[in-house]
Amino acid sequence: LRVGVVTGHIPISSIPAELNSDRILKKVKVIHHSLQQDFGISSPKIAVLGLNPHAGDNGLIGKDEKTIILPAIDAARNEGIDVRGPLPADGLFGSSGYKEFHAILGMYHDQGLIPFKALSFGSGVNFTAGLPFVRTSPDHGTAFDIAGKGVADESSFREALTAAVDIVRKRRALGS
């Protein structure tokens, strides 16, 4: 399961103002390139989530999907990227539909990372795509709350190291 998000650590109330078609398209392109370069997937399939419940329900619950997200998806398709959406997050993750895709792009942090952590916690890896170097970290963050207590689980750390090595090897094999 690979999940990216358009916006970072910002308040929910700030999300709509931070979204635009160009920003979404840029993220789709970064994910597409990373799937090819870093994961060796020649023809990646990417899902893009809607912002509103039920992906706006054809404009009944919001216009963002039609006015902002769909134009970015159309532009990505015009560049030859296999991208689907906007899709409702609850339906995609709740039905295991996410398994049909190589990556999912959420509009904001909690939309993408709550399902990711619920499905992979303990073995999840945080990877920053689009950098000229490989950057991975454990999914759980710093975990200062349990530091020194002898209860930490190193699984995610090991997965982060393994992922970094795998990505470096793939990049070297591709000459990038």
pLDDT in tens, 52-69: 999 999 999 999 999 999
Mean pLDDT, all residues of the chain: 94
**Average pLDDT over every residue of 33-59:** 96
* In the block, residue with structure tokens 């902002």: 68
pLDDT at position 88, please?
A: 98
My answer on whether 90 and 132 are in the same domain is no
Q: Is the pLDDT assigned to residue 119 strictly greater than 80?
A: yes
| Co-location of 8 and 87 in the same domain | yes
Residues 6+ apart with CB under 8 A from 46: 28, 31, 32, 35, 76, 81, 82, 83, 84, 101, 102, 103, 104, 105
Instruction: Give me the CATH number covering residue 44.
Output: 3.40.718.10
Report, as an integer, the average pLDDT of 121-135: 91
What's the pTM?
0.93
Using the predicted structure, report yes or no on whether residue 41 has a pLDDT greater than 90.
yes
Residues 38 and 74 in one domain: yes
User: Do 94 and 133 lie in a common domain?
Assistant: no
| Least confident window among 23-27, 50-54, 138-142, 145-149 | 138-142
Please, which pLDDT band fits residue 156 given cuts at 50, 70 and 90?
A: confident
For residue 142, name the pLDDT band (cuts at 50, 70, 90): confident
CA distance 117 to 140: 8
Structural domain tally of the chain?
Answer: 2
Residue 174 confidence class, pLDDT cut points 50, 70, 90: confident
Domain shared by 87 and 139, yes or no: no
**Domain range holding 18?**
1-120
Q: What count of Cα atoms within 13 Å lies in the side-chain half-sphere of residue 138?
A: 14
Q: Are strands 82-87 and 45-49 parallel, antiparallel or unpaired?
A: parallel
CA distance 73 to 82: 9
Q: Are residues 106 and 155 in the same domain?
A: no
